[in-house]
A and B are shown apart, each in its own frame.
Chain A
Amino acid sequence: MQYDSIVIGAGISGMLAAIGRAEAGEQVLVLAKGHAATHWATGCIDLLDVGDGDPLAGVAALIAAQADHPYAIAGYAAIEPSLNRLREICDQGGYPLVGSPQRNLLLPTAAGALRPTCLVPVTMVAGDARQLPRTGSGEAPLLVVGFRELRDFFPPMIAANLQIQGFNAEGIYLTLPPLEGAADFTSTGFARLFEQPAFRAEVGTHLRRLVRDGGHQRIAMPAILGIQHAAQVVAELQAIAGAQIFEIPTPPPSVAGMRIYHILEQRLRTAGGRIQLGAYVQRGEAHGTRLEAVYSEAAAREQRHRANRFVLATGGIGGGGMRAIDANHLIETALRLPLRAPASRADWFFPDFLAQPGHPIFRSGVAVDTQLRPLDAKNQVVYTNVAVVGAAIAGCDHIREGAYEGVAVATGWVAGAR
C-alpha cells in the first residue's frame, strides 16, 4: 500500500507530525523500533532552561544567536501554536497540561533538586517551588511520601535536599495496603495499582491520617498515580487526604510520559493513522532526490513501506536515530543521511561528565533547510520529500539545553502542518 506519509519514530515529534497529517486527511503510517523518550523522560514539557525565567524570551534570543538551531528552523512563530496544539490534545485526553511559555516552573526532582520546566501535567503543578512551604514560614512541612517497594523514589533524600534549599519538608515511607497475589513494584506496576479504586482509597485514608496528625497542606508522591486516569486519581486522593498532592517524575520507565504517549496514540488512531511498533527502519530506497520507500527489519525478512512523503523522527544518539559504529564514526541509522558531528573524536567529550553546555557529540544530527529537509555537506537537499524533526536535527543538546520536548513539539507540529 502506498501511504501519503510515513513517519519513522513514535516520540512526541513523530506523533505530532503524524497526527497533523492524519487530521489533514492523509493516510499515515508510523513505523517505530520501540517507544521513545516519552517513556524515559519526565513527562513535562521543557521549552528552555532559563531557570525560573521566561523561556519564550529565551527561545527568541537563542534563535537570534544561532540560525541553525532547531528552534530557529521551526521559527519563533511556531513555538506558541505548537505548544497550544499539544495542550489541546492533552486536554481532550483528560490530562491537561498547565503552565505558561512566559514563565518556567521549578519542580522538585526525585533527588530533591529543583528543575525548570514549562508545561506540566495537572498532576504535578502543585509542586511549583513558589508554592512550597519555606523554612521558618510557620507552615506545616511538605510531606514527601513514597513506598519502600518502589526502588526509584527516596523521600528522605528528597526532603533533606529540599531542606538545605530552604524548604520545610519531611520524607516518609508508606506501608503498602495488603495486596492480593504477587505484585510488580515497578513504576508501571504501581500505576496500575492506583487505577484500582480500592487501592487508592486505602492509600488516601492513610494520607488523611498523616495530614490530620501533621497539618500538612501539600504532599509529594512519585509519578505513579494512575496511568489512564491520572488526573482523576490525583483529584480523588486529594479529596480523601484533604491536602494538595503533586507527583514527582521517577527514573524510567516514566509513567507520566507514557500517559502523553497513550493520548497521542489514541488521537492518531482516531484520525485513521496506523502505528507499527517493532519496525526498525534500516534503509531507504530513492529515485534521485525522492525517497520512494523505506525498509524495516521484520521476522526473517525485510518489509518495504512506500509513501509519497516521509518524516524522520528517530531521535539522537539516545533515541537510536544516530549511532557511533566505532570510536570515530557516527551514522544516521534509518536512511544513512549525512550528519553534522564534531570533526574528531578528541572533540566529542568534556572531561567533566556534567559539564555545561554538554558534550559536543550530543549536538550532532542532520542539518536541515527551512522546510526541515535533510541537507548534505554542501547544503544540497538530499531528499525533497523527507522532513527531519525532533532530536534528529543537528545543532542542539536537547537534554542539557532543557529543550527536549519543546524542540520535538515545535518541529513535529511544523512537519504535521505541511
Chain B
Amino acid sequence: MQTISTDVLVIGGGATGSGALRDLAMRGIRAILVEKGDLTHGTTGRYHGLLHSGGRYVTKDPQSANECARENAILRRIMPHCIEDTSGFFVITPWDDPEYGDLFMANCRKTGVPVSELPLAEMRRREPALNPQIARAFEVADAAADSFLAAHTNVLAAREYGAQVLTYHTLIALLREGDQIVGAIVEDLRSGERKKIACAYVLNATGAWAGKVAALAGVKVTVLPGKGTLVAMNHRMVNTVINRCKLPSDGDIIVPVHSVAVIGTTDTFVPDPDFYGIEAEEVQFMLDEGEKLVPGFKQYRALRAWAGVRPLYKDQDVTNDRDLSRTYKLLDHAQRDGVEGMISLVGGKWTTYRLMAEDAVNVIAQRLGNTKPCRTAEETMPTPPFERRSVTIATEDGPTLHWLGKPLAAVEQTQAYNDLICECELVTRSRLQEAMASGASNIDDLRRMVRVGMGPCQGGWCVYRSSALLYEERSAKADPHTPFHIEYANAALLHFLQERWRGLIPVLWGDQLRQARLDELIFAGLLGIHRLRDHARQGGGLVTPE
C-alpha cells in the first residue's frame, strides 16, 4: 500500500474542509484533503447559496449573527468572484408580527449586523414583484454565494501554497495507536486502490457526517442531521434576497441564484444524513409561503427540489431543531475524550466557514509548534480558470448581477447557436470541453461547474449530449493500459437521469410533468437508454458515490 506522509489530514471537501486546507497551507503546514465525492458533494453543494448578513439570527442566536456579520465583510473582500451582491430585505408581511420590526432593528444593532429601514416606495421600486401589503422593510448585507466556486477557489489557493487534494477518495479507517490518531486509510473510488496517509493531526470537517467519522476513531460525537428542503423556481422574480421579518421558520427566504430563485427551507431531523426523501407536501408548503412574499409565486414553474443536511451539534437535550445553535463547535478530542491528534468541527454555516477553519487551525498549529498567524482574512484568493464572469452585468445601481442575456449575447456574437449543448443555461460545447479539461470527471461535476442540466428541461436535452462528449473526450485521452469503457459513460448517464428524477418527483405537475414525459419519450422511447442497463458499469472516474 502506498503511504503518504503529511502533517494534517483534512477530511471533507466542503466549505470548512477546503477553507481549513488553505489556512493550514498558508501557515506552512503540510496538509492533504480527502473527499469521497467531488468538492461540495455534501451539504455545501446543497444549500440555498446565501451569504448571511446575520439578520436571520439576531434574536435567537446573537453569537451566530455577529459571526455572520463579521465574516460577511471578510468574504466579500477575499473572494469577490464567488459573491453576487444582491443585498437582502427583511419584510413584514400581513402574516408576521408587526411588533417584531423594532425588536429586529434593535437586535441587529446589538449584534453588529448593519441594517437600515427601507422606505416602502424604495422597496417597491427595487423589487416590484413583492407583496404590496408588506408593512415594513429593512435592508441588510445578504448576498448570493456560489459555494461550489468558493470551495474550488479555496482549494486553488491552498494548492498554490503546496497543499494536496484527493477527491473521490473515501475514508476506510482512522489509524489509532493507543490514545493517538496517527493516520488514515483511504480508498480511491476510481481505481479501488487503497492508500495510507500518515499524519500528526486529523481535522474532521465532515459536517453532518462528523459522527460517522468520529466513530472510526472510537469517539462519540452526536450530530443531528437537520434536513433542509429547497425548491428552485425557473425565474428570478427578485434580484434581492428576500427574508420574512420574523423568527426563522420554514419557507421564509427567497434567494436569487444564477438564472433561478431558490426558496427555502424546511428543517426536519433525519436519522441518517445519507438517507432522506422529499415530500410533495413540503414543497407545497414552501410555495404557499412564497406566495406571501411574492404574489403569483406558485404560478412560476418549480424546477426541482433537493435537500441538504445541516450539521447541528447536540450537546444538550433540545426538542426543536431550530432551537439548536447555528454557531459552530470545535471538539478537541484530546480534552474531550482523551484521544490525541484529532479535532472535529461541527455545526456552523457556510458564511462562517473561514472563521471555523481559523479556530481549528489555531489549535492544530499550536500543537504542532507552528506560530505563524492566520492570514486567510487578508489575502484575496485567485479565480479558478473555469470561471468566466460572462454571465453577470453591472446594474445601474452598482451591484453586479446575474443576467442570462449576457451569455446569450455572447452566443449570438460568435454565432455559436449550433454549439449550444445546454440551451437552458446557454452552455456551449467549448465551455463544456474547458470544464472537462479542468477536471470535471462526470456529468454531476459538469452540472456544478457550468450548470448543464440545471434549467427547465432538467437535462432532457443536454445530458445525452454531455455524456457522449464526455465519452469522446475521455476515451480519446485514455492511456492504452486503462481504456475508457463506454459502460462508464452509460452508467454516468443513467445515474444522472435517476438523480434528476429524485429531485423532480416532488415538483411534477403542470409543465414540469409534461417535460418529464418528454424526457421519458427521449430517453426510454427514442434512445432506449434503459436497454443499456446491462452495459453500464461504474468506473473510469465517473463514480458519484452515495
Q: From residue B303, how far is it (CB to closest CB) to chain A in Å?
A: 15
Q: Which residues of B contact A3 (CB under 8 A)?
A: none
By beta carbon, the residue of chain A nearest B535 is A164
Partner of B529, one of A113, A114, A185, A327: A113
The stretch from B149-157, B218-226, B463-471 touching chain A is B463-471
Complex contact A160–B471 (CB within 8 A):
yes
**Most chain-A Cβ atoms within 10 A of its Cβ — which of B521, B529, B530?**
B521
Partner of B487, one of A164, A317, A348: A164
Report the interface size class on chain A: 35 or more
Partner of B526, one of A41, A349, A400: A41
Partner of B523, one of A156, A323, A325, A354: A354
Complex contact A40–B509 (CB within 8 A):
no
Partner of A399, one of B429, B485, B509, B525: B525
Complex contact A114–B531 (CB within 8 A):
yes
By beta carbon, the residue of chain A nearest B283 is A327
Task: State whether the Cβ of A324 lies closer than 8 Å to any Cβ in chain B.
Answer: yes
Task: State whether the Cβ of A251 lies closer than 8 Å to any Cβ in chain B.
Answer: yes
Q: What secondary structure prevails in chain B residues at the interface with A?
A: helix
* Given A109-B526, A318-B518, A320-B514: A349 and B532 interface contact (C-beta under 8 Å): no
Complex contact A349–B464 (CB within 8 A):
no
Complex contact B528–A114 (CB within 8 A):
yes
Q: What secondary structure prevails in chain A residues at the interface with B?
A: loop
> With A and B bound together, what is the CA distance between A359 and B505 in angstroms?
11
Task: State whether the Cβ of B508 lies closer than 8 Å to any Cβ in chain A.
Answer: yes
> With A and B bound together, what is the CA distance between A252 and B465 in angstroms?
13
By beta carbon, the residue of chain B nearest A355 is B530
Partner of B521, one of A41, A154, A164, A354: A41
Q: From residue B505, how far is it (CB to closest CB) to chain A in Å?
A: 5
Complex contact A40–B521 (CB within 8 A):
yes
Task: State whether the Cβ of A345 lies closer than 8 Å to any Cβ in chain B.
Answer: yes
Task: State whether the Cβ of B480 lies closer than 8 Å to any Cβ in chain A.
Answer: no
**Most chain-B Cβ atoms within 10 A of its Cβ — which of A323, A327, A349, A362?**
A327
Task: State whether the Cβ of B524 lies closer than 8 Å to any Cβ in chain A.
Answer: yes
Q: Which residues of B contact A87 (CB under 8 A)?
A: none
The stretch from B30-38, B107-115, B194-202, B414-422 touching chain A is B414-422
* Given A325-B509, A399-B521: A354 and B465 interface contact (C-beta under 8 Å): no
By beta carbon, the residue of chain A nearest B494 is A354
By beta carbon, the residue of chain A nearest B415 is A182
Q: Which residues of B contact A113 (CB under 8 A)?
A: 527-529, 531-532
Task: State whether the Cβ of B106 lies closer than 8 Å to any Cβ in chain A.
Answer: no
Complex contact A404–B525 (CB within 8 A):
yes
Complex contact A157–B489 (CB within 8 A):
yes
> With A and B bound together, what is the CA distance between A258 and B363 in angstroms?
69
Q: Which residues of B contact A41 (CB under 8 A)?
A: 521, 525-526
Q: Which residues of B contact A400 (CB under 8 A)?
A: 520, 524
Complex contact B508–A349 (CB within 8 A):
yes
Complex contact B530–A42 (CB within 8 A):
no
Q: From residue B386, how far is it (CB to closest CB) to chain A in Å?
A: 21
Complex contact A317–B513 (CB within 8 A):
yes
Complex contact A353–B498 (CB within 8 A):
yes
Q: Which residues of A contact B525 (CB under 8 A)?
A: 41-42, 399, 404
The proximity string for B residues 254-286 relative to A, scoring 1 for CB distances below 8 Å and 0 otherwise, is: 000000000000000000000000001001100
Near B by CB (< 8 A), chain A positions 392-414 give 399-400, 404
Q: Which residues of B contact A345 (CB under 8 A)?
A: 280
* Given A111-B532, A354-B524: A151 and B418 interface contact (C-beta under 8 Å): yes
The proximity string for B residues 511-546 relative to A, scoring 1 for CB distances below 8 Å and 0 otherwise, is: 001100110111111111111110100000000000
> With A and B bound together, what is the CA distance between A354 and B533 in angstroms?
10
By beta carbon, the residue of chain B nearest A404 is B525
Task: State whether the Cβ of A352 lies closer than 8 Å to any Cβ in chain B.
Answer: yes
Task: State whether the Cβ of B510 lies closer than 8 Å to any Cβ in chain A.
Answer: yes
Task: State whether the Cβ of A26 lies closer than 8 Å to any Cβ in chain B.
Answer: no
Closest 7 A-B residue pairs measured CB to CB?
A154-B468, A113-B528, A353-B501, A160-B486, A318-B517, A324-B509, A185-B418
A→B interface (CB under 8 Å): 37, 40-42, 109-115, 149, 151-152, 154, 156-157, 160-161, 163-165, 182, 184-186, 249, 251-252, 316-318, 320, 323-327, 345, 348-349, 351-354, 356, 358-359, 361-362, 399-400, 404
Pick 18 A–B contacts, CB within 8 A, sort by A.
A110-B527, A111-B464, A111-B468, A113-B528, A156-B472, A156-B475, A157-B468, A160-B471, A164-B535, A186-B418, A317-B513, A320-B514, A323-B513, A324-B513, A353-B520, A358-B520, A399-B517, A404-B525
